[in-house]
Amino acid sequence: MDKFFTTASGLPFNLDTKTRQQFKQYAGLLQQKNKEVNLTRITALDEIYIKHFWDSLALCVKMPALAATVLDVGSGAGLPGIPLKLAMPKLKLTLVDSLQKRVSFLQEVAAALALKDVSVIHARAEDLAREKRFRAQFPLVVSRAVARLNVLAELCLPFVQAGGVFVAYKGPEARQEAEEARFALEELGGRITEIWDYQLPQQMGERTLIFVQKERPTPEKYPRRAGIPAKRPLV
């Protein structure tokens, strides 16, 4: 699987032997834990490497110099945050998830891989974004496979500092989601600057990254109470 993490696979870096070993260890932990906790429907090793790891690293093609501090909202199995951290060890990474079992797995991975400057937080994004030490504090916020964009924007944009970027990892309906999220983004202080489509290796599908620039502070009333953004999306 190492070949998928070389410049020949379209990624802007080569990973050293230690980092490749960390990816292998991470894949093994993910497969093992998935037998106990529902982390992913993707369990075949080649698909984990491409559909999870390679996909997570695709951001580096468009943003090879990532912000030094990154927040991953709804991190789940650690995607895209942990692959980004492995590829760029100097990143200061915060992973947030609302389910304790997933948080425990993320803590296990961080310890097993000896990752430094990684914080794992058990919280709802709606609650965490109201805390002063987190609100508008991150130059880069990422989220993958969590919710539709008009919902996701309300969960993520409050964390983004002025001039920062929120990146949503999306699938085939990205442009439809972008269109339906117009009002939400305007209301929350964001603006789409780019929608980038790319193909995964081995013809494993098409994915999309939506880049949202934080142009204005998010109004204090957002995010709404936990669960409300999903029940009553901004439209």
What confidence tens digit (pLDDT) does each residue in 194-215 have? 999 999 988 889 999 999 999 9
Average pLDDT of the chain to the nearest whole number: 94
Does the structure show a pLDDT above 80 at 173?
yes
* Confidence (pLDDT) at 1: 64
d(CA 209, CA 229): 22
Q: Which residues, other chains included, contact 18 with Cβ-Cβ below 8 Å and sequence gap of 6+?
A: none
Does the structure show a pLDDT above 60 at 94?
yes
Q: What is the CATH number of the domain that holds 215?
A: 3.40.50.150
d(CA 86, CA 77): 14
Question: What pLDDT band is residue 130 in, cutting at 50, 70 and 90?
Answer: very high
Tally of domains within the chain:
1
- Which residues pair with residue 196 across a beta bridge? 209
Cβ density class 19-50: b for 16+ within 10 Å, e for less? bbebbeebbebbbebbeeeebbebeeeebbbb
Q: What is the pLDDT of residues 11-41, one digit of tens each?
A: 777 788 899 999 999 999 999 999 998 899 9
Containing structural domain, residue 88: 2-231
What residue type is assigned to position 177 of the chain? E
* Inter-axis angle of helices 100-112 and 17-33, nearest 10: 150
Question: What pLDDT band is residue 91 in, cutting at 50, 70 and 90?
Answer: very high
Q: What is the pLDDT of residues 63-74, one digit of tens each?
A: 988 999 999 999
Q: Read off the pTM.
A: 0.95
